[in-house]
A = this chain, B = another copy of it.
Amino acid sequence: MVNPVDTRTLQWLSEQYYDLNGTHYDILEKPPSAIEFSRLVHMSRPAVIKGFDFPALRCWLDEYLIQKMGDQAISVAVTPNGRADAVTLGPQEKLYFVEPHTEQMTMHELLSKLDQSRTDALFSGSSDDYRETLYLQSQNGNLYSAPYFQSPNSDLSTANQACEFEALRSDVPSEVTWCSEAFGRSPDAVNIWIGDRNSVTSIHNDPYENIYTVVRGVKHFTLLPPTEGWCLEERTYPHAKYARDTSTSLLAIVPSSDSEPIRWSSIANPQLSGMLAPQAHPIRISLHAGETLYLPAGWWHHVCQGEEEVQEPDKDFLNAVPDGKTIAINWWYDMEGRGMGWVWYAFLRGGDVPDGNQADLNEN
C-alpha cells in the first residue's frame, strides 16, 4: 500500500508530542527496578541512569585491555574522516551512503594508533592533514550475540569461537537484569565501542531498545523523538564502501554494484545550529563514564565523543586517565513486535514498514 502520510500530519503529531512532553528526560540516581524500568519503556522517553556498575567500569585501562586481548585480531572500521555509515561526497561529485573499510588489528595496535592520532593532532600545524580515523564499532554483537543467548553455556560453539572479544566477557554482564526482566527476553546483541573524538555516528534510528553505558570518556548524544523524523529529510542514496587503493594506499569511495540504495537523513550534523527545521526540538545529553542512557526504540540519535577537561582526577571512574579515548558498551533488545509499536514506527517514517518481527496472527 502506498505511503499515505503527508507532512502536515507528521507536523501536527510532532507539535502535539512536543507540547505534551517538552524536552524533559528523567535522571535516575540509581538503576531502576524491573517494574520502574518497564514504566520508562512504556513511556518511551530517554533516561539517564546512574550507578549501573559492572567490572569493566573499574578495570578497562589500556594496559589491562592489551594484556587481556593479547594477539586476538579485532575488526576496526577505518575512514578518512571519522564518518562511518554516513552520507558522503563520492565519485563524480555524487552523494553516497558510505560504509567504512574494515581492518584487522590487535587491541594494542588499535589503542596505540588512537594515541598516535591524538599526538599528531596536537602537534600538527594543519588541521587538513590526511589522518585516518579508527573506530571499533563492529556492532554485530561483538561481545555477545544472538547465538550466545541461545546456548550461553556451550563455550566451544562456533559462535563463541568467532567472538573477537571473548576475553573481555567476564567484565561485562551479558544481560542487564532490570531490562531483561522488563522486556521478558534476553538482549539481541551486546557491543563494545572504542573510538576518539574523530569518530561520529550520523543521525539514524533503530528498531531496538538500547541501553548504552559509557565506560571511559564522554559521549555526546543529540536525540530527536520518533515524531520529529520528518525534520531529518531522509533521502535515498546509492550504497558505497571505503576501500584501500592498492597503489596509493589511501581510502577511496567505491560504489557498490550489488546493494540496494539506502534511505538516510540528509542532515549531516544536527548539532550545528540552523541545520534542523525550527520544529525540531533536539535533546542534548552528554553521557559520562559510569552513566547509562536508555535510548528508546525509534528515537533518532547522532553521537559524537570527546574528551572533557578533567579538573581533578575522578577517583570513581576511569576518567582519572583522560587520554581522549571513549569506550562504551551497549545492549540492544528487540522492541515489542506486537501492538502498535511497529505500526507507529513505520508510520512516522512515512509508511515504510520494517521487515521481520511480525507477530503470530493466531486467533483465539
- 24 chain-A/chain-B pairs, Cβ below 8 angstroms: A5-B9, A12-B347, A16-B347, A16-B353, A17-B343, A20-B343, A20-B359, A20-B361, A21-B339, A22-B363, A23-B363, A23-B364, A24-B363, A25-B364, A27-B364, A36-B184, A38-B42, A39-B184, A42-B42, A43-B338, A44-B339, A45-B338, A226-B340, A227-B343
Q: Which residues of A come within 8 Å of B, CB atoms?
A: 1, 4-6, 8-9, 11-13, 15-17, 19-25, 27, 34-36, 38-39, 41-45, 181-184, 226-227, 336-340, 342-344, 346-347, 351, 353, 358-364
Looking at A25, A39, A42, A182, the one whose CB has the most chain B CB atoms below 10 A away is A42
Instruction: Report B-chain residues with C-beta under 8 Å of the C-beta of A182.
Output: 35, 38-39
Q: How far is the CA of A155 from the CA of B358 in the complex (A)?
A: 52
Given A42-B41, A42-B339, A339-B44, also A16-B362 (CB < 8 A): no
Q: How far is the CA of A364 from the CA of B11 in the complex (A)?
A: 24
* 6 new A-B contacts at CB < 8 Å, known A42-B336, A42-B339: A4-B9, A17-B343, A20-B361, A22-B361, A24-B364, A39-B183
Chain B proximity of A181: nearest CB distance (Å): 6
Instruction: Report B-chain residues with C-beta under 8 Å of the C-beta of A358.
Output: 20
Instruction: Report B-chain residues with C-beta under 8 Å of the C-beta of A364.
Output: 23-25, 27
Q: How far is the CA of A34 from the CA of B184 in the complex (A)?
A: 12
Chain B proximity of A156: nearest CB distance (Å): 34
Q: How far is the CA of A45 from the CA of B339 in the complex (A)?
A: 6
Q: How far is the CA of A351 from the CA of B15 in the complex (A)?
A: 12
B343 in contact with A24 (CB, 8 Å)? no
Chain B proximity of A353: nearest CB distance (Å): 7
